[in-house]
Amino acid sequence: MLAVVLVITLPSTAESAWSPDDDFQVPFACGESWEGDTRPSHSPSSLAVDWDRDTNDRGHLVIASSPGVVESVKDLGNSSYGLYVVLDHRGGWTTLHAHLLRSFVVPGQRVDQGQVIGRLGNSGGSSFPHLHYEQRRNGSDRHVRFDGSHFDYNTWIKSRNCADVPVVGDWNGDRASDVGTFTRRRTGSVFRKRLPRGARQVVAWGRTTDQPLVGDWDGDGRFELGVWRQATQRFILRTPPKPRRIRFGDSKDTAIAGDWDGDNRWDVGTFDPRSATFSLRLRGGAVRTKTFGSRSILPVTGDWDGDGRWGVGTFNPVTSTFRLNLGAGVVKTINFGRRASLPVVGNWKPDGISRVGVWDTATGVFSQRLSPTRTRKIRFGHAR
């Protein structure tokens, strides 16, 4: 059921009750089935899991089983774990992903549940392509858990790593932003749009491992859908009469979008966490860059002053802090949200000025910051 409530208060900064112990999901795409094996002699512990499925596992995408920060990316060559990634999920919890073919993340980078982190491989002391996976607490291996339940080793399991991702766009052209979600499903992904009067529109677009983004690609005032295929660095924008495809960015980047030059047509871009650099691709193919933030933040974009040109910003979910780059060395700081939040930005009022907001992963509630003292809340999407 959808509900809209107007409140005259600021959101709490209290910690969410979320615990990685209850939130871990299988490290593969929504709906995929994998066999998780172990043995008494399994190094470093029989609690670790070797995931495989068939003879075509090499190169398969590996995704984050819970939100976290990249603790380390190391390559031990032909020995031990080979190329491996460790994610820190707070509370002493970490996950390890070993024998990778490629890594798509860097140390210090923040990743969301369901985000692609690498490709399955055969590196290190491995005799066949598979993913070696561990869940640790305070450095010690634990019996792996998915959906809050212990995994039954040496059996098959279907991934429920199907977390919603929030999106915001003007679905009907009234100059006010609406909310929506990108929902990962076994057969692909769908965008679920919430229209102004509460009706829903569902449009199939993208794969379960894509990064979603939306924008007014043709300048008609209505936002359309898009995805970024991280492993191949391809944007696929839903534009009639056929999709527009753009190759841009690096496999370690995060996708962004905005109207960089004020021509009312949105363009794509990327954020590189290694150098904290925004790369804004203009319509003719030229690229404008801006270094802002750090690798541990989440990038946001918006028209902060209403001049029609979109700028860059950041969100730190640890401190619930937005930092908006207004240009000429001016930075605006706004504290909003809480630790379980993901950032969203929209024109909550039809005045052309972008304002910050968040989507709470624990409750499925959008909080739109209308002013320093007024927040509009809309429940939409599936809580994690």
304 in any annotated domain: yes
Alpha carbon separation from 373 to 48, 243, 344 (Å, rounded): 49, 42, 18
Same domain, 114 and 184: no
Tell me the pTM.
0.91
Give the full edge-to-edge strand order of the sheet including 365-371.
3-7, 374-379, 365-371, 355-360, 341-346
Q: Does 120 have pLDDT greater than 60?
A: yes
Among the candidates 121, 139, 158, a domain finishes at: 158
pLDDT at res. 340 = 83
Same-domain pairing of 232 and 356: yes
What is the pLDDT, as a whole number, of residue 334? 98
Average pLDDT over residues 107-115: 96
Buried/exposed code over 341-352 (b: 16+ C-beta within 10 A; e: otherwise): bbbbbbbbeeee
Do residues 223 and 370 share a domain? yes
CA distance 245 to 255: 14
* pLDDT tens digits, 257-278: 999 999 999 999 999 999 999 9
Instruction: Say whether both 258 and 148 belong to one domain.
Output: no
384 lies in some domain: no
Same domain, 193 and 105: no
Give percent above pLDDT 70 in the chain.
Answer: 94
Same-domain check for residues 197 and 278: yes
Domain count along the chain: 2
Whether 244 is covered by a domain: the verdict is yes
* SS3 category, 20: helix
Residue 19, domain member (yes or no): no
CATH number at residue 140: 2.70.70.10
Q: Quick one: 130 and 255 in the same domain? A: no
Domain that holds residue 369: 3-14+162-379
Question: Are residues 286 and 140 located together in one domain of the fold?
Answer: no
Does some domain include residue 265? yes
Q: Are residues 143 and 175 in the same domain?
A: no
